[in-house]
Amino acid sequence: MYRPESSRKRKKCHIGRAFSLFAFEIYKVEVSIHFNCFHSPTMFAVRSILFVVLLFNCQKIVIGIDDCPADNIDFATKVANSSIVVYGKSVGKTLYDGNDSLFYITYVVDCILKGPVVSRQINITQAGQIKGRTYCQDYPVGRGYSIAFLEPNPSNITDTKTFIPADFAEVPFVRNVTNEILVNTCHLQRILPFESTDSIADVCPIVSTSAECIALQSTTITNAIVVPGGAQIGVDNIKSKSGTAQVHDENKGVNMKSINLALLFITVVFILFN
C-alpha cells in the first residue's frame, strides 16, 4: 500500500531531530573538554564552526533529499505543455518495489479534454517523484476527481492504456474553482473514452464556453491556449517540459553528495583527533 507523502516527510523529520540531539550531545562533550582541559580558544572556535557545518550537511542529507517543490504552474500552461489531458479519478495506487516515492496509478477516465481518445481505464506509470522531473504527483485514491496531464508511453506511443505523467502535478477538481478555470480556458474538447457508454453531458465538465472562447471559435488560431483575462499562449513558443528532450546533469547531484560526504568525514576526523 502506498504510504502518503506526509508520513514519509514526518519519518525523515524524526530522523533529522534524532541526529540533531545526538550531535548536540557530542558538542556538549566538546565544550566540557575545552573548559576542563584548557584547549586553545582559537582551536575551540574552529571546531565549533566545523561542528555547525557537520550538522547543517547531515540535516540537509537526511531531510531535504526527497522534498518536492510546489507546483504553481497555471492551468493553461499545463494544458499547452501536455499531450493528453483527462478528467477522471484514481482508483488504485501501487508502489514500485524498493522505492517509496515512485508508484503507478489505475485511473478511470470520464472525459478527454485534450489529445486522442484513450481507454476508459488507464495506467499512469512512473508517477510520484522521479529523477529528471521537477514536480511530483500524488493521485490520492478516494478523494474525488482530478485533471491529469499526461504523455504517451515512451515504449509504445500508440498505446491507449498506459501513459506517464507530464512534468506537472495533477489538479484536484474543486467544483466552483475548477469549473470556472475550464469554462475560461479556450480550445478544450469533450470526448468520451473507449468503452464508455455514458453521455458527454452526464460525465464531462463544461469547457471553453466563456464569451471570449465563443468569439474565438470562428477565428483560426493555430496551436494556442487562451487563458482567463485574454492572454494568449502559443504552444509553438513554449517548450514542453515533458515532450521536449531535456539535458539533466545527473553527475552534478552525485558530485555534490560526494563533496558533502567528504566534508563530513574530514570534520569528524578533525573533531575527534584535535
CA dist., res. 102 & res. 107, Å (int): 16
Residue 147 Cα distances to 23, 114, 124, 176, angstroms: 45, 11, 13, 14
SS (H, E, C) 47-81: HHHHHHHHHHHHHHHHHCCCCCCCCCCCHHHHHHC
Q: Are residues 87 and 197 in the same domain?
A: yes
Residue 21 Cα distances to 55, 138, 188, 240, angstroms: 10, 32, 54, 45
What cell does 262 get?
567528504
3-state secondary structure of 255: helix
Q: Are residues 83 and 212 in the same domain?
A: yes
CA dist., res. 145 & res. 137, Å (int): 14
Q: Are residues 58 and 144 in the same domain?
A: no
Q: Are residues 220 and 109 in the same domain?
A: yes
Q: What are phi and psi of 48, to 5 degrees?
A: -65, -40
3-state secondary structure of 215: helix
Question: Is 248 a member of any domain?
Answer: no
Alpha helix ranges (H) inside 132-192: 175-184
**Model pTM?**
0.60
CA dist., res. 121 & res. 94, Å (int): 15
Question: Is 245 a member of any domain?
Answer: no
Query: Per-residue confidence of the chain (274 residues) as pLDDT tens digits?
Result: 334 444 444 444 444 455 555 555 655 555 565 555 545 666 656 566 655 555 555 444 333 335 788 999 999 999 999 999 999 999 999 999 988 899 999 999 999 999 999 999 999 999 999 988 999 999 999 999 999 999 999 999 999 999 999 999 999 999 899 999 999 999 999 999 999 999 999 999 999 999 989 888 767 444 445 555 444 444 333 333 333 333 334 344 445 555 565 666 666 556 656 6
Question: Is 154 a member of any domain?
Answer: yes
Amino acid at 76: A
Q: Compute the CA torsion angle 126, 127, 129, 133 (nearest 10 deg).
A: 70
Question: Is 246 a member of any domain?
Answer: no
Q: Are residues 223 and 108 in the same domain?
A: yes
Q: Are residues 79 and 122 in the same domain?
A: yes
Cα of first residue to Cα of last residue in the chain, in angstroms, is 49
Q: Are residues 53 and 82 in the same domain?
A: no
Q: Are residues 36 and 103 in the same domain?
A: no
What cell does 188 get?
478544450
Q: Are residues 112 and 226 in the same domain?
A: yes
Q: Are residues 92 and 213 in the same domain?
A: yes
Q: Are residues 79 and 58 in the same domain?
A: no
Axis crossing angle, helix 41-63 with helix 250-273, rounded to the nearest 10: 140
Q: How many domains does the chain have?
A: 2
Q: Which residue range is the domain that position 51 belongs to?
A: 5-67+254-273
> DSSP letter at 179?
H
Residue 131 Cα distances to 81, 97, 134, angstroms: 19, 17, 8
* Residues in a beta bridge with 94: 104
Q: Are residues 96 and 177 in the same domain?
A: yes
